[in-house]
Structure 1
Amino acid sequence: MRYVFKILRNFSFILILLLLMAIGLGYTLTGQGGRLDVGWLLTRLSPHFWAALGIGLSVGLAGLGVSVGMFVTGVSILGVSVKKPNAGSRSLISILLCEAFAVYGLITAVVLGDMLKDFSAEKARTDRRLFEAHMFSSYVMFAAGLTTGLTNMVCAVCLGMLGSSVALATATDESALNRTLIVEVFSSSLGLYGLLLSFYMHSLTSTQTSFPTPVWEEAGS
């Protein structure tokens, strides 16, 4: 079975590489090689795409990290509860701390989602400054969501691994939870930094432009 997975992994890598080569060759032969430029990708895609992607990543990445973290620490807690139910119930604090990271991602998604409102596309075509302001807002929303999602994902996995070790240590010595709880608390506070940074990015869109909602149509068309 291990060799089968290895073959599938190598085949998937080759398939993706061939697909990218086919796309690049197709654009080159049809005279659209400029679309392979990163700058073209950033300016031609709708800002609604970047904003929605940032909102989705803030929840999706945080939820992914929390799922992995709760799985890692939950398995250890269940194993400990078989022999020492009291120690297992006391270790549930790790599950609660891990769940907070998903809440941070949800808060960011709600705050960013509140910025999405309709706006006249005609004004975006004629006013270049307004168009650039919307582009700036969409990039900031994407960066805010990505920052919160990645920060909370890594912190949730870290806390899950730490909670697993704490559960095993508590099974040996129940007083170990009191000594290691401070480590878990400080580890869980790291995800809050990503949330605060996303709020700071949100304030940038409010101060740089009076239209923080990213609405875009191709300029000059």
Structure 2
Amino acid sequence: MAQQGVALPYTGWGDIIRDIPPVAWGALGVALALGLSAIGAAWQVCVLNFWGIFITGSSLLGAAVKSPRIRSKNLVSVIFCEATAIYGVIIAILVASKLDGVPPDFIQSMMDANKIEKWQADAIAAGWGLLATGLTVGLSNVFSGISVGVAGSGAALGDAQRPEIFVKMLIVEIFASALGLFGVIIGLLQLNLVNFTRPARS
């Protein structure tokens, strides 16, 4: 006779998500901040659109064939795209430093508890806070990279035709790059609210 399996105490997805350690959510926040920022800065193919540096670089190289004078001054657009990746690296380091403060037996002490205590609720909130920080910074840097890439492409093509519009297009790029900076500021505010508290020893 076949043995019957033991039923899991999970009644829904909420139970499964609750049992994922908060440190895992924080580590996912590190990955999202770094990965999405790099995608926004470098390149990514999505419905035949290229982002960030690839958009700017391809337009710059194409327009520089007809008008070689635009090569050096339009490299500013590439630097603005790289800034979004740097923002992601900074936040990823700060989020990872929050995870370094977690005691080694922290996860096991969470799993051994019979009921959710205050320190466990704080730890769950901290894990979700780190995830939200990574997601906020990562997504803002993706859209900042796209915006800077499109504006940089327009600046290179416009500068090749009419050199007097370069400064005006540079201002547009600065405002597009500010999206990533706003995401970093909000991420820092979120990061200040996160703290893994050590459980009280009995």
Instruction: Give, in whole Å, the separation in 1 of the partners of 2:36 and 2:16.
Output: 23
Give the one of 19, 22, 29 matched to 1:54: 29
What is residue 64 of structure 1 aligned with on the other side?
A: 39
Contact 2:64 2:70 in 1 (8 A): yes
**Amino acid paired to 2:87:** Y
- TM-score for both structures, normalised by structure 2: 0.82
* Other structure's SS at 1:205 match: coil
Moved beyond 2 Å, runs of 4+: 29-35, 120-127
What is residue 17 of structure 1 aligned with on the other side?
A: none
Aligned pairs (5 A) from 1:5-20: none
Instruction: Give, in whole Å, the separation in 1 of the partners of 2:67 and 2:166.
Output: 14
Contact 1:81 1:89 in 2 (8 A): no
Instruction: Give, in whole Å, the separation in 1 of the partners of 2:143 and 2:9.
Output: 37
Query: CA separation of 1:33/1:65 partners in 2, compared to 1, >3 Å: closer, same or farther?
Result: farther
1:145-196 deviation line (CA, Å, top 9, x unaligned): 0110000011101110111111100000111101221111111111111111
> Which 5+ residue runs of structure 2 have no aligned equivalent?
44-51
Instruction: Give, in whole Å, the separation in 1 of the partners of 2:30 and 2:133.
Output: 8
What is residue 101 of structure 1 aligned with on the other side?
A: 84
Aligned pairs (5 A) from 1:30-41: 34=10, 37-41=12-16
What is residue 132 of structure 1 aligned with on the other side?
A: 121
Matched, 1:80 2:91: no
Matched, 1:161 2:150: yes
Matched, 1:204 2:187: no
Contact 1:101 1:156 in 2 (8 A): yes
Instruction: Give, in whole Å, the separation in 1 of the partners of 2:38 and 2:20.
Output: 26
**Amino acid paired to 1:51:** G
**Amino acid paired to 1:75:** S
Instruction: Give, in whole Å, the separation in 2 of the partners of 1:30 and 1:182.
Output: 64
Matched, 1:184 2:155: no
Tell me the matched-pair count: 181
Q: Whose helix proportion is higher, 1 or 2? A: 1
- TM-score for both structures, normalised by structure 1: 0.75
C-alpha RMSD of matched pairs (Å): 2.3
